[in-house]
Amino acid sequence: MIWVVVSAVVLFVAVILARLLMGRTGRDLLTTHLRLRVLGLHPALEGARIALLSDLHVGRLHVPTERLIAAVEGERPDLLLFGGDYAAERENQREALQLVERLSEGRPTFGIAGNADHHQGLDLHALRRILQASGGDLLINEAGRVRVGDATVEVLGVDDPLRGNADVDATVAQASNDADLRIGLCHSPALWRELRRLGAQITLVGHSHGGQVRALGLEAHFTHMTYPRELASGLFRYEDGSELPQQVASHEQVLRATSTLAASSAGGPLLYVTRGVGMGIVPVRLGCPPEMVVIELAR
């Protein structure tokens, strides 16, 4: 009961502050740069760049569309990934698909479906056509592959565990043995116990919005009950003997980073939970700005 009251007070204060600071709290897209070292990485993948955008929630994007497009273009990713939840409401779906088409133009792009996409009945066939036109695909418990130079990158996309039909086993069954790099993609941290079975060097998830409203130095106040609050945002590593992935870079460390973060998959598979770009029903972001993640590969 006390936690409910505290959360309500925090939300009220956040709404007031957000209205006063709206120019900064909701509209500044921050790019998190992560240099990922991979043991035995194919030489063709040295310096390759992978960008992740999740939870666009077009209609509650709160990042000007042209600014988002310019940010992606400025990073020049070799591969673009979408983590699901493209539209805020049904009436925003056409606009959301148009934005995905613009963002994916000129680069192979893979995406998955989120809980909102299933709930709203997003036209997944149309989304698949857009992504396939880019050289990528929509992955619903599927594996997709793309060539980067002489190397093969494999993306394992697991369906949403809340509204969809997540099946890690079916996804893994489609994996190949000759991929030079494997990336996991799932909308929600809810499957955190199972995601390491993808055998990916790094798995990328969203859905949490990072909590969307966070007080300095504290865990997220508002999360779903399907995953621990500690997993609302940041970089984690799966380690043998530990049920909960161990924190490598916290929410605060990611936000305060003045240079590229660095991590290696040699010590165990990694999990990155992004804050996403858009907002939920309450259009407020405080201490939790919109995020694009750019991963640069290194040997």
The pLDDT assigned to 227 comes to 61
Structural domain range at position 164: 2-298
The pLDDT assigned to 19 comes to 40
How many CB atoms sit inside 10 A of residue 64's CB?
Answer: 11
Q: pLDDT averaged over consecutive 10-residue blocks of the chain (299 residues)?
A: 43 43 58 97 98 97 92 98 97 98 97 97 98 98 97 98 94 95 97 95 93 67 69 92 90 92 96 94 85 97
The pLDDT assigned to 219 comes to 63
Question: How far is it, in rounded angstroms, from Cα 21 to Cα 263?
Answer: 34
Strands of 79-82's sheet in order across: 137-138, 109-111, 79-82, 49-53, 291-298, 30-37, 261-264
- Residue among 237, 261, 293, 268 at smallest CA distance from 79: 293
The pLDDT assigned to 22 comes to 41
Question: How far is it, in rounded angstroms, from Cα 225 to Cα 206?
Answer: 15
The pLDDT assigned to 228 comes to 81
Question: How far is it, in rounded angstroms, from Cα 257 to Cα 249?
Answer: 10
The pLDDT assigned to 230 comes to 85
SS (H, E, C) 204-254: EECCCHHHCECCCCCCCCCCCCCCCHHHCCEEEECCCCCCCCEEEECHHHH
The pLDDT assigned to 253 comes to 92
Question: How far is it, in rounded angstroms, from Cα 27 to Cα 60?
Answer: 11
Question: How far is it, in rounded angstroms, from Cα 106 to Cα 262?
Answer: 28
The pTM for the full model equals 0.89
The pLDDT assigned to 56 comes to 97
Contact 253, 259 (CB under 8 A): no
Contact 284, 18 (CB under 8 A): yes
Three-class SS of residue 109?
strand
Quote the number of domains for the chain. 1
Report the CATH number at residue 100.
Answer: 3.60.21
